[in-house]
Amino acid sequence: MYDTQTVYINMDDSGQLVQNNPSELIFVYGGIYFLSLKDQENFSRQYKALVNLIKPKYCNDFKNDSSIESSFCRNHTSSSCKYNCPELKSNMLMLKDRRRLLNFIKKFNTSVAIVLNSKLKDYIFDSKASKGRYKDYIIKREVKKIVENLISQNKLNSKIPVKLMLNLDEQTTLSNGYYDLASSIKEELQFGIINYNYDISFPPPLSSVDVKIKYKNSYYNYPVQAADLLVGEIRHKYYNYLKNNNFELYKSQISYLSSSLYLPEQK
């Protein structure tokens, strides 16, 4: 008998799935993952400490109150804070603060999916439901990529049951009417899929998998906060690549990623 192998995956997105918007050329989904709850909790504790060192300079209420010292932010809990301090989001941080947090994140397993809006089929943008289904597809593809990479690195044994614990930023994700996202991920990872249009089958990478999904408020969940910072940074680097057309520079800047996926795949 073997213990179940558990992977903890924390994800957020950056950008929007929209057509013909020059400021929204790409949509990025991804985050950070761990092979044990202990590793995830250690990350959360250390990342929270970094955030609390940086947060005071972004809290306007705090800056306008001279009655307390900055150490207050390092020694209290969110529930006891009398200020409505902002969550540290990627697009609000000064370069040195963003770099400080990213340098810590880079020490861990990270993954992103980069979606080129201009290459997507028109029907994906038809409704909120169709965009929701495509987001589910992105998540499913990225989770599969993470699992396959871990197997290839001998960090997961495909013959031993696996439990996937997904923490996703709070958002509306719509099923396709037949099954929910967790069931869809399980179906592909444990049973495989068949593309009847092209008569192609994709064998399952795992013999047994259980998938649990929880939607988290990123203000209180530090791995999901880190996912927001990561995908925002990758989106920024990809835009720079589109401007300067220097793919080698872009590739070197994202080389720390454990896995990356580009959608839609070009045939």
pLDDT tens digits for range 97-144? 999 999 999 999 999 999 999 999 999 999 888 898 899 999 999 999
Mean pLDDT of all residues belonging to the chain: 87
Count CA within 13 A, CB hemisphere, residue 9.
27
- For the 5-222 domain, the top CATH level (class) is alpha beta
Asked if residues 110 and 31 have their Cβ atoms less than 8 Å apart, the reply is yes
Contacts of 36 by beta carbon, 8 Å cutoff, 6+ apart:
6, 8
The CA distance from 32 to 258, in Å, is 9
* Angle at the Cα of 63 from the Cα atoms of 61 and 65, rounded to 5 degrees: 75
- Mean pLDDT calculated for residue range 63-70: 63
| Residue-level pLDDT at 176 | 45
The CA distance from 54 to 45, in Å, is 15
The residues facing 13 across adjacent strands are 29
Element spanning 173, H or E? none
Instruction: Compute the CA torsion angle 256, 203, 138, 167 (nearest 10 deg).
Output: -70
The CA distance from 236 to 20, in Å, is 19
CA distances from 178 to 127, 156, 174, 183 (A): 18, 30, 11, 10
The CA distance from 224 to 31, in Å, is 7
Return the minimum-mean-pLDDT range out of 64-73, 149-158, 228-237: 64-73
Asked if residues 30 and 11 have their Cβ atoms less than 8 Å apart, the reply is yes
Provide the pLDDT confidence category of residue 32 given band limits of 50, 70 and 90. very high
Element spanning 38, H or E? helix 37-54
Tell me the one-letter amino acid at 55. K
| Residue-level pLDDT at 74 | 58
The CA distance from 94 to 50, in Å, is 14
Model-wide pTM > 0.75: yes
Joined tokens for residue 27: 């949509």
* Angle at the Cα of 212 from the Cα atoms of 206 and 214, rounded to 5 degrees: 145
Domain locations in the chain as residue ranges: 5-222
The CA distance from 116 to 119, in Å, is 6
Q: How far is CA 116 from the centre of its chain?
A: 17
Give per-residue pLDDT as tens, 167-220.
Answer: 999 864 554 444 589 999 999 999 987 554 445 667 899 999 999 999 998 888
Contacts of 41 by beta carbon, 8 Å cutoff, 6+ apart:
none
Cβ atoms within 10 Å, residue 164: 23
Q: Which residue has the tokens 């609000």?
A: 92
Burial bucket for residue 143 (CB in 10 Å: 0-12, 13-18, 19+): buried
